[in-house]
Amino acid sequence: MRFLVVSKDEIRAEMEVSRDLCTMPGRMHGGAIMAFADTLGAYGTILNIDLAGGESTSTIESKTNFFSSGVEGGKLIATSKPLHRGRSTMVWQTRVERADGKLVALVTQTQIVLPARLAPAEQLAALFAECDVPEQQALLATLERAGGGLYRAWAAAESDPERAAVLEKAAEREDENAALLEGLTRDGD
């Protein structure tokens, strides 16, 4: 596949119909045609979302009408244009034609716009956000105890005595933090 036009309003590419993309002697597989079109619609969506902010996309629906076939040794040219560019979905329509202009397929696909994923620390904080303070403290104390257990397991498996001692110290800090939080929770009752 070779891109010819790449913009927020149009994606155009061409593809050689090679033997490895064909089923019946000399006829391009419909799935290969659909994948070609899907790639263009996805690229169009990518150009219209906030990649730097962590957004991504995935195809959630695709409909293909086939009108003729791609012929081995020939070339397909596909042009994809947006029908809808919303905040949560985008719809792209792709015309796939032979080099002689004959329509091979018309593909309409819906791309979901996936919001940025939260960092692990943000995900944990979001789990606690709806809880009152004593419940947050109790949950965090449980996590601190679990962290202490992990540090102890790592220390037990460590062959370097200095590293094992550092890991044991970390386990002690986790236990101290848990005890502090448990005390705050008891004092709040």
DSSP string, 66-96: E-S--BTT-EEEEEEEEEEE-SSEEEEEEEE
**Residue 189: is its pLDDT beyond 60?**
no
CA distances from 90 to 26, 46, 71 (A): 34, 10, 31
Query: pLDDT per residue over 99-144, tens digit each?
Result: 999 999 999 999 999 988 877 777 777 777 888 888 888 888 999 9
Mean pLDDT of 96-101: 97
Fold of 2-114: Thiol Ester Dehydrase; Chain A (3.10.129)
Per-residue pLDDT at 188: 61
Integer Cα distance of 181 and 128 in angstroms: 14
Integer Cα distance of 36 and 43 in angstroms: 11
Q: How confident is the model at residue 47 (pLDDT cuts 50, 70, 90)?
A: very high
- Reference 185, options 127, 145, 126, 153; nearest CA is 145
Least confidently predicted of 9-18, 88-97, 120-129: 120-129
**Residue 48: is its pLDDT beyond 80?**
yes
Q: Tell me the pLDDT of the chain averaged across its residues.
A: 93
Query: pLDDT per residue over 52-68, tens digit each?
Result: 888 999 999 999 999 99
pTM for this entry: 0.65
